[in-house]
Amino acid sequence: MTPATPDIDTAVVGAGVGGLATAHALGRAGRGVHVFEAADAVGGRMRTLHSDGWRIDTGAEMLPSAGYTATWSLIRELGMAAEVSRVPGALSLWRGGRARPHAGRPLGLLTGGGLSPRARLELVRLQAGSGGDVGEPADPVTLEEFAASRSPEVRERFLYPLAAGFFGWRPERSAAAPLLAHLRSTGSTAHWRTYRGGMDALARRLAAGLQVSTGTAVHRVAAVPGGARLTLDGGTVTARSAVLAVPAPVAARLHPGAPADERGFLASCTFAPMLRVSLALARRPATAGGMRGFATLIPAAEDDLLNVITLDHNKHPDRAPDGRGLVSLIAAPPATAALMGAGDAEATAALAERAERYLPGLRSLVRRVHVHRFPHGLPEATPAALREHRTFRGRPARAVDYAGDWTQLRPCSEGAVASAQVTAARLLAHAAERPTSTHPVRPGRTLR
């Protein structure tokens, strides 16, 4: 039986940027919010490890200056614009033994980027959305189907490596439209940015103004008369509303009683796993093939195991102590599943051995290794998920709602931050129909 007066007003499950931005928006609207986070720190897939002077971005790496409307609006609201700086030499594409600079920007198309004139023309049309060949985001066509009529160069040397490197996607599973919409809205990679102090800067700033309990896993969320009931290790908490700001498969597990118009999307919203190995180095490594700048994408035709190399010390000088280096290796999607099941030493050995081709002598420089595994790396945005999304979006506002990149089917941090506005508006509309008595959780309160 739910008490007439719930323990708290709104409970948010998950302190990634999606959950924190939702809590922030609700707080600004005058609601009492408490965030429950299973991990020992905030940030989720946008977390940074602060270790002996290294700042290791475990998930999200960067944000573009275009197309991230909700994120930039939040950054300005929090007065953080000066904490965001440009990523020099953002993206290169490996081809024929060389890192081709300026990938994904007009300069790259002008200078060639290792692509033929025909492929460059195709890319210009793709990014501009001209030629009537770019579907709307709701088009249920896989990337593989979409790419079938493109030249092999554009397919294998551009679209597939980007989909794999950005989202961990496999072209036969994910829909083309969200990737194309992302490329078109974010524009040139020359405008990539990163947070000084680590990609978790936004999450930390949001959390500083909120009530957050880290190390507190929520095991179950149920809609009950008058609101929601959460089951935690110490007992239960009742709330007028609850937001599940966790990846869709986790949300489905925590909320088995989700109504039918939510269940279809929750079930179809699968995630691509991602695995990154970060290597803290005694010094900056030598590079082959003219590799410099920040990230280099390696097409599957060149390497079936290693998909992205990032020179994090080039992203921002504060990522490694003076004179030291920081490099990350991201596994290619087809190899990720096997590496996820391997031990840290095995996964590191496999990727670092491969990386020697691009960074000769790398392994002799390694001082510390961090392996980051994301079973729920990024929403896959399959055609089935796109179809179910329409029903999900049209569902009525309820006491138990959701936030996160997947709710927008936008596989990036902008999707998570943008979801906050939508979710907060839905919860406020729902709560407006009900009485407003609330009791914020007191620190140290014993949970029954």
Let me know the angle formed at the C-alpha of 377 by 373 and 382, rounded to the nearest 5 degrees: 145
Sign of CA dihedral 126, 131, 133, 135: positive
Tell me the Ramachandran region of residue 147: left when phi exceeds 0, alpha when psi lies from -120 to 50, beta otherwise.
alpha
Does 59 bind ligand FAD (CB under 6 A)? Our answer is yes
Does 425 bind ligand FAD (CB under 6 A)? Our answer is no
Given 63, 91, 109, 206, the residue binding ligand FAD (CB under 6 A) = 63
Quote the least distance from Cβ 48 to ligand FAD, whole Å: 11
* Identity of the residue, 75 or 119, whose beta carbon is nearer to ligand FAD in the bound complex: 75
Q: Report residue 317 CA to chain centroid gap.
A: 23
DSSP tag of 282: S
CA 297, CA 40: separation in Å to the nearest integer? Answer: 32
Does 413 bind ligand FAD (CB under 6 A)? Our answer is yes
Does 409 bind ligand FAD (CB under 6 A)? Our answer is no
Residue 317's identity, in one-letter code, is P
Name residues whose C-beta falls within 8 Å of residue 169's C-beta, 6 or more positions apart in sequence.
143, 163, 179, 272, 333, 378, 380, 381, 411
Task: Let me know: does 90 contact 166? Beta carbons within 8 Å.
Answer: no
* Identity of the residue, 119 or 300, whose beta carbon is nearer to ligand FAD in the bound complex: 300
Stretch that binds ligand FAD, among 26-34, 54-62, 145-153, 182-190 (CB under 6 A): 54-62
Side-by-side strand order, sheet with 63-64: 63-64, 192-195, 84-86
Quote the least distance from Cβ 17 to ligand FAD, whole Å: 5
Number of Cβ atoms within 10 Å of the Cβ of 34: 21
Does 245 bind ligand FAD (CB under 6 A)? Our answer is yes
Quote the least distance from Cβ 189 to ligand FAD, whole Å: 11
* Identity of the residue, 119 or 243, whose beta carbon is nearer to ligand FAD in the bound complex: 243
Site for ligand FAD, residues 192 to 231, rule: CB under 6 A: 217-218
Does 333 bind ligand FAD (CB under 6 A)? Our answer is no
Site for ligand FAD, residues 20 to 49, rule: CB under 6 A: 36-39, 44-46
Residue 2 corresponds to which tokens in the numbers above? 């739910």
Quote the least distance from Cβ 390 to ligand FAD, whole Å: 20
Does 14 bind ligand FAD (CB under 6 A)? Our answer is yes
CA 89, CA 296: separation in Å to the nearest integer? Answer: 10
Does 160 bind ligand FAD (CB under 6 A)? Our answer is no
* Identity of the residue, 38 or 223, whose beta carbon is nearer to ligand FAD in the bound complex: 38
**In the complex, which residues of this chain contact ligand FAD (CB under 6 A)?**
13-19, 36-39, 44-46, 59-63, 217-218, 245-247, 250, 254, 274, 276, 374, 377-378, 404-405, 412-416
